[in-house]
Chain A
Amino acid sequence: MSTNRVHTFCRICEPYCGLLAEVEDGRIVSLRNDKDHPIHKGFSCHKGIQYLRVHQDPDRLNYPLRRCNPRSEERGDFAQVTWDQAATEVGARLNDIVQRHGDKAIAMYTGNPIVFNSGFFANAEALSAGFGAGPRFGALTQDCANKFAGSEAIYGSFLVHPFPDLLHTDYFVGIGCNPAVSHMAFIEISDPMAKLRAIKQRGGKTVFINPRRIESATPETGEVLQIKPDTDFYFLAGLLHEIIFKIGYDGERVGKHAKNFDELIEFVKTWPAERAAAVSGISLETIREIAREFCAAPSASIYMSTGVNQGSQGVLAYWMLQMISLVSGNLGKRGGNLYCVGFCPTAQFTRRKQDQPFFDTEFGELRAIAGTMPGNLMPELLESRQNPVKALIVISGNPLLSIGGEARLRAALQGLELIVVLDIYRSATAELADYVLPATDFLEREDINTLGLGHQLEPHVQYTPAVVPAAGERRDDWWILSRLLQAMGRPSLLDDPQPKPFGAVEAMLQYSGLSLDKLKQLPCQTAVLPEPDPEELFRFGVQNDDGLIDCCPQLFRRGYASAEEHWQGLLAEPKDQLKLITRRTPLMVNSWMHNLPVHKKSVHMTNPLWMNPRDAESRSLFAGDEVRVQTDFGQVQADLVLDETLRPGVVAMSHGWGQSKAYGLSTARRFPGVNVNQLAAVGPGSFDVLSNQAQLTGINVQVIASSP
């Protein structure tokens, strides 16, 4: 029997870790970390390796399905149809809807996995535009829209996110992140924990800021300052205040690369470190010490992630972070925060089109962020009287669980005429669909690592073929959408007798003198590119017309009052107010991998409520108690697990659970857990107006023992 070894890579998160598949008789028999990979050198986490179980999962979708029972019944009764049947029927129904209700009647939702799918992603704009001008939604507004809004206003492109140069930095501050578990969003980095250990080994220092003593904080990396949830903006503003008013800033660098610095000073003046100390749980002395150390280090870098993004002040926090890097002289400097062109400078393609993005709607002034409307308004926008939506196409997403207010959204979805879901699984959302169309998984499709462009610590580009042909009648997402467009009589990639989904990727590769064919000839199909020149940020990143970084975008003024209000609210809170944070465990990724039996062990058979033992004691609660967690917006039942890594006053739960109605997922449904997003505020006024970002962490909750 011949064994074929295929070098490929993981597409669960940004690092794109190298994987090695062994294929026998057209079947993958093993999937391992790829020790030959020139960048990852054998590092990958268990999630990528265990993706083989996703590939082999008997619950996977193999054929197009059409619903036979009314959508009012929560369990779908689906029958297998051919691709031609599915496409023809969906195409005709979409055309009918557009004819009756106009060009804005088809909405779309894209989930997170699609961004790791270059065949789709490189054509995303055209594929989306093909379905008209209806509202677009996505997981974006649930976990990182603040970064897009922040960078668009500051740098002029929503895809410029200067990342910490962990290979050279002498001082690293990581806020609301946990690299040991989640690696690092918005950075394409191999083995992040090794990079953090190396900082200490070369005499540098790492400080984590997190309400929880995270797995990433070890004696070989650095300590955690246990901040109170959703106070990161004040902490960052306090640091910036110290640097500008006490320590002194790099005026030359600011003058050369930035504008509106005086306005920034005016703003920062209102947020001294004393105000941060009053609400953040981090002492004034400590804030000052970090500011001093940051500025005294030969180089210093700073990073924030989902724990801050999902709070209430994510845009302003990201702004402060960029300004700390700039005024301390670390932006665009070796060891500071960098931009990296990689194989193609893409920031120019996402240049801000208008300074004032807001427009009037029946729900007040709104904006789109990277084309995406607020998830928290999804039910309202679907039911809009001005622009009623009648059909929804969901692409590798699970809005029912990812967006808050599950019951409200379920009702809005049930009011639609047509729901089409493209997925690898019959997810909780797919259960509501009229048509469920089977997509390929990452072992069944060719790809390159496009998402990291701009944010690669170790620039490289890798091609992977499909490791094995698609099972059943699974198809690539680009093909499925193109097939639907074709059935509607609209232009699509399939108009070409030899469709070229990678045409856009080929054009990007040309910038570096590469091509897919050239990549295929290289070891691991990988081209290693030179390390980024720190000045690339100013040459290729900044997209404002004058080439200057905007230190104080006008747009942010809309957020000033909310920052003040939130601060006053924190001061006025009772001392024993519990705050809920969301926590990703090593055994889950959003709602991606809930159907793997191997992960349903120990405490991970459900999503418990983690609580500090002190808080449990003062409430006469005990480990194993069933508790009710409630907010003004919803409630869930959970088992109590004591966790002394949490700051007292902080409780934590994992999201992505609540699978009891995912009838097509046998394991997930056996271990359903609860949907923690039901506790979040939804509807008008519940999201950050600057970015459409939902608040999913730092939520005030009550925890009560459930009556027996």
Chain B
Amino acid sequence: MTFVIAAPCVADYSCVEVCPVDCISPGPEDPEFQEAEQLYINPQQCIGCGACVEVCPVVAIYSADSLPVRWQHYAEVNRSYFMRRTKTDDVPRGES
């Protein structure tokens, strides 16, 4: 079970800090962070612990099976963000 960041995201990075497997991007260290409209969860790496849900200040994070209907497409939005990134970008921080 993975989690998905939906429309309310304000790119606060509490979730990035709490994620134990660094699967939320972009983080404050990444160049694109300044321009980011929202953050994304890499479904390939998410372990489904839900720690990010707890710290999100705007209730933007949902488990993939509980996404509100109006934000159903965000599972794909999150996934495709990581598809767009180049292969080298996709190496999670800390494992390079």
Contacts and interface: CB of A to CB of B under 8 A. Distances in A.
Contact of A218 (B18, B19, B56, B66): B66
Contact of B65 (A43, A220, A604): A220
Contacts of B65: 218-220
A602 B47 contact: no
Contact of A49 (B17, B21, B56): B21
A602 B50 CA distance: 14
A598 B49 CA distance: 15
A638 B49 CA distance: 27
Given A32-B21, A193-B1, A586 B49 contact: yes
A45 B49 contact: yes
A466 interface: no
A598 B17 contact: yes
Contacts of B50: 180-181, 215, 586
Nearest to A29: B94
A602 B57 contact: yes
Contacts of B77: none
A584 B43 CA distance: 26
A585 interface: yes
B14 A601 contact: yes
A44 B20 CA distance: 10
B55 interface: yes
Interface residues of A, number: 29
Nearest to B66: A218
A215 B1 CA distance: 12
Given A50-B20, A598-B18, A193 B48 contact: yes
Where chain A touches its partner, the secondary structure class is mixed
B95 interface: yes
B48 A585 contact: no
B63 A218 contact: yes
Contacts of B48: 193
Contacts of A32: 21
B51 A587 contact: yes
Contacts of A181: 50
Interface string A169-195: 000000000001100000000000110
Contacts of A218: 1, 63, 65-66
A175 to B, nearest CB: 21
Interface in B46-81: 47-51, 53-57, 63, 65-66
A56 to B, nearest CB: 14
B51 A602 contact: no
A30 to B, nearest CB: 6
Contacts of B57: 602
B82 to A, nearest CB: 18
B21 A33 contact: yes
Contacts of A598: 17-18
Contacts of B18: 46, 587, 598-599, 601
Nearest to B19: A46
A47 B63 CA distance: 18
Given A218-B63, A218-B66, A585 B54 contact: yes
Interface residues of B, number: 22
A197 interface: yes
Contact of B47 (A43, A219, A599, A601): A43
A585 B50 CA distance: 10
Interface string A46-61: 1101100000000000
Nearest to B95: A30
Which of A30, A32, A43, A604 has the largest count of B CB atoms less than 10 A from its CB? A32
B35 to A, nearest CB: 24
Contacts of A33: 21, 47
B5 to A, nearest CB: 15
A587 B54 contact: yes
Nearest to A17: B47
A338 B66 CA distance: 32
Interface string B4-36: 000000000010011111000000000000000
Nearest to A50: B20
Contact of A604 (B47, B55, B95): B55
Nearest to B94: A30
Nearest to B14: A601
Nearest to A181: B50
Interface string A579-621: 0000001110000000000110111100000000000000000
Nearest to B17: A598
Contacts of B51: 46, 586-587
A411 to B, nearest CB: 36
Contacts of B14: 601-602
B20 A602 contact: no
B89 to A, nearest CB: 19
A33 B19 CA distance: 13
Nearest to B92: A32
A275 to B, nearest CB: 35
Which of A44, A197, A602 has the largest count of B CB atoms less than 10 A from its CB? A602
Contact of B54 (A42, A47, A194, A604): A604
B20 A49 contact: yes
B39 to A, nearest CB: 15
B81 to A, nearest CB: 22
B54 A45 contact: no
Contacts of B55: 587, 601-602, 604
Contacts of B19: 46
A44 B51 CA distance: 12
B1 A197 contact: yes
A20 to B, nearest CB: 11
B46 to A, nearest CB: 11
Q: Which 7 A-B pairs have the closest CB atoms?
A: A49-B20, A46-B20, A601-B55, A46-B49, A45-B49, A46-B51, A220-B65
6 contacts: A43-B47, A46-B49, A218-B63, A586-B50, A602-B57, A604-B54
Given A45-B20, A45-B47, A602-B55, 13 more contacts: A30-B94, A46-B19, A49-B20, A49-B21, A193-B1, A197-B1, A215-B50, A220-B1, A220-B65, A586-B49, A601-B14, A602-B54, A604-B54
